[in-house]
Amino acid sequence: MAAKKRFNAVATVAAVAAFPVFPLFADEPTTAPDAAPQVAASADETSALERETAAFAEFNVSLFEIPDGETVEFYRERADEIEREWNRLALTYAVKQEELARKNSPIQPFPNQGRRLHGPTGTYYDGERYVLAPADSILARRADALADLYGRLADAPELPLEVRGLYYRNWIKVLSGLLTGKSPQECREFYAKLLADEKAKSPLDLGRVLYLSDAASFYPKDDAASSEPTERADLETLLAVPEGESSEFYLKRLNELNRAYSERVGADRRNGVAPDETLSSRFEKALDELRKLRSQALSAEAAAFDRDAVKPLFDVPSGQSAAFYLERRKETKTVYERVSKLSQSQEGRDLGAISVRLRTETLPEIDKRLAYADDLEPFERFEHFQNWLRFCDAEELRTALEVEIARDATSEVDACRELYVRKTLAAKLLADALAEARKTLPEAERSAVFGASPNPPVEPEAQAMFDEAFNEIAELAAGGAVPWSLGLSWAEWAENLALGLQNKEYGGLATQLRKEIRDALADSENETDRRVLRELERRIGAGEIIGSELPVEGRNLDGTSFDWASYRGAPVLLVSGSVERHWAPNGDLNFIPNCVEEGLKVVKYCRDLKSAQAQAEHHAQNRSAVLNFQAKGGDLDRLGPDVESRMPFAAFIVPAEGKGGPNDWPYERGIIWFEFGVLFDADGRVLAVELTPSESEKSPKIVDELRALFPKVPVVEPK
C-alpha cells in the first residue's frame, strides 16, 4: 500500500507545501518536526544525504513493515512508535549540527535551524533547498510507512470524524514531502484531483472537501508558464531591461530575474565557485531599474484608467440567475485586482477607495446572492456563504443566523451553515468587545495598565458583548461538534478564542470562557472535546498551584535520584526549553545569567536521558566557547538571539522511573518540543508557571517574578 501511494503521488506530478498539522492528542506525539538539517557527520566534506543517512542509521527499520489486518489501535501505536524513534535521533542530530557549525565559526550560531528541523517528510536539505530522498533511504521509507498508516487511519470507521480528519491531514502532509519541488500550478492540480475524488464519494465527507478546497485555493491559477524554472543561460537576457513595457511585464521580469539569479548563486555555492561581485552589482542595478520602470508604467496606466467604467459594477441587480452572478463576480474580481495594483501608484491613489468598495461591498453582495442560489450545488453555495460572512457586521450575522435556523437543510453542507454562522458571530462579538474595551483606557494610561495588569478594566458595553459571545459558544456546544475542518470541534475552537483573549491580556475573560467550556464538556463523548477538556484542566489547574509546594522528582544524568530538597534556600527556575530567550524581559540574553550570579538556580528538564546528556554536552561546549570569546574582548551582542551565552545550569534532570514527568506536573504534554517553566521561591513554593507561547491566565509571569526577586539585575530596553 505504501509503495502504491508513493507511485500515485509522484504520478500526479504535483507538490503540496508543508502545511501545519494539528496534534491529535495533547498527551501524545503525532507528526513530529521533520529533521532535515545540513550537517551531522565527522567529515565536513560528506554530502548532505550521506550525513543525513548516517544520522539515522540506528533507526529501527522493522517499524516500517506495516502488516495488514491489524486493529486501529495497532496502527495508531505504530505511527507513534515511528515518530518517537525519529524524535530520539533527531534531537541528538540537531545538537551535532550545532557542534559542527560552532567548530567552523565559534561565535556564529547555526543559521535557520528551525527550517532544517521542519522540512517536508521524506526529504533532506542539500544546503540550498529540500530534495526528495532516494526510495531506499530511511527518510523515504519513513514517509512511505507514515503514508500507509495515516491512509489506513483516515478511513477507519471506528474513529470519530474529527480524528479521521486529522489523520487525513497527516496523510496529505506526507504526500507533500514526496512531491517536493513542483510548481504552484502542479500543486493546485494535485489538490483539484483529490477534491474531485472526495466530491464523487457518497456520503460526502464535508471536512475533507472543505480542507482540500482551501488548500487548492492557496495556489494561483494559470501560472504554469511563469513558475517554470528559468534556464541559467537566460540570466544574461533577463539582466537587459527593456523600456516601454507594461507594469505586468516588469513585475513578471522581476520575479524571473530573482529566481534565475538565486539559482545561479546557489549552483556556484554548491560547486565551490567564489561569489561574482560584478554579477551581483549588475543584478542589483537591474532590479532597481525594473522597479523604477514598473512604477512609471503603473502611474501611466492609472492616469489612463477609466474610473467611470467601474461604477456600473457597484450595483448588483436582484432576481438574476446564478450564472449571471457568477459571471458578474468574475468580472468584478478582475477589475478589483487591476484597480488594487494601480492604486499603488501616486496617480492611482484615488483608486484605493474603489478597490476597498469592490472588495468589502460589491463582491460580498454577489456572494450573498450566490449563497442562496438554488441552482448551485450545496458545497458551492457554502463557499460563497463563507465569503459573504467575512464582511458582515454583528447585526447582519444575527439576521443570517435567523435565516439558517428557519431553513430546511437538505444536505450535510447546508446543515453545517448554522454552526458556521454561530462561530462567525461569536468571533465577531469577541473582536468587537476587545476593541470596545481597549477604547475605555486613555492613550496615556494604556501602556502602563496593559504592562502591569493581566486584567484591564472592561466597560459594561464591552462586557455585554463578551457575554453574548459566550452564549453563542454555549449554543455551539448544544449543537454538537463542528466538522473538523471548521475547527476540529467547537471546544477546540473556543479554546483558541480563549488564547486570543489571553494574548490580548484579558486573562480574566479567558478564564471565564475556559470555565464555560469545561462545564459544557463534562458529559461530552466527543474524542476531541475530551482532549480539550484534559488540556483545559491543565491550564486552569496551573493557576491554582501558585503558592503551593510542588515537589519535583527525577533522575540526574548519572541515573541517581534528583535531590529536590537540597535546593531549598535559593530561587529555582525549572525549564524544559531555551532559558534566555523565553524567560527574560525583552529577550535580554544576559538577564538570566546575571540572575544566576545573584543566586538563582536553573534546572533543565529533559524528556529522556540521551537528550539530556546531549544537551548537557552541548551547553558545556557552547558556554566554554562563548566565555573564551568574551575573555578575548569579543562583543557578546554579536552572538545573536539564538545562543545561550553564559548559562551555568545547576542540573539536567529526566523523569523519574515509571513517570512521564515531575509528579502532578501541570504542563507536561509528553512531547519534547513544547516548552514550560516553573519558578520556585527559596522555600520551594511556586511563584509562576508558564507554557511558551501561552501561559495560565491566573499565573504571574516568570519574567515579572524574576524582576521582583532580583531588582538589582539590569534589563536591556528593546531597541
Position 292 pLDDT exceeds 90: yes
How do residues 575-613 score in pLDDT, each as one tens digit?
876 665 677 777 777 788 889 889 999 998 887 787 788
CB neighbour list of residue 430: distance below 8 Å, 6 or more residues apart: 465, 466, 469, 497, 500, 501
From the list 620, 626, 651, 652, the residue with the least C-alpha distance to 639 is: 626
Instruction: In whole angstroms, give the CA distance from residue 173 to residue 167.
Output: 10
| pLDDT tens digits along 424-481 | 999 899 888 888 877 765 544 444 433 334 455 677 888 888 888 888 887 877 776 6
**What integer pLDDT is reported at residue 180 of this predicted model?**
82
Check if the beta carbon of residue 153 is closer than 8 Å to that of residue 79.
Answer: yes
Q: Are strands 675-680 and 686-692 parallel, antiparallel or unpaired?
A: antiparallel
- The DSSP element (H or E) to which 123 belongs, if any, is strand 123-125
What are the pLDDT digits (tens) for 100-141? 554 544 444 433 333 344 578 888 777 667 788 888 888 899
pLDDT, tens digit, 9 for 90 and up, residues 651-696: 888 877 655 444 344 444 333 335 678 889 998 888 887 765 444 4
Q: What is the pLDDT of residue 659?
A: 52
Closest CA to 529 of 502, 494, 498: 494
Going through 559-674 in order, the beta strands assigned E by DSSP cover 572-575, 601-605, 651-653
Architecture of domain 564-709: 3-Layer(aba) Sandwich (3.40)
Query: How do strand 123-125 and strand 130-132 relate by DSSP bridges?
Result: antiparallel
| b/e burial code for range 370-386 (CB count within 10 A of at least 16 → b) | bbebeebebbbbbbbbb
Sheet holding 686-692, edge to edge: 651-653, 601-605, 572-575, 675-680, 686-692
Q: Which residue has the cell 540550498?
A: 128
611 grid coordinates? 537528550
Lowest mean pLDDT among 48-52, 94-98, 212-216: 94-98
By the 8 A CB rule, do 178 and 132 touch? yes
Q: Quick one: pLDDT band at residue 202, thresholds 50, 70, 90?
A: confident
Q: What length does the chain have? A: 719
Kind of pairing, strands 572-575 and 675-680?
antiparallel
How do residues 136-178 score in pLDDT, each as one tens digit?
888 899 999 999 999 999 999 998 877 888 899 899 989 888 7
Q: How many CA atoms lie within 13 A of 535 on its CB side?
A: 26
What CA–CA distance (Å, rounded) separates 450 from 167? 41
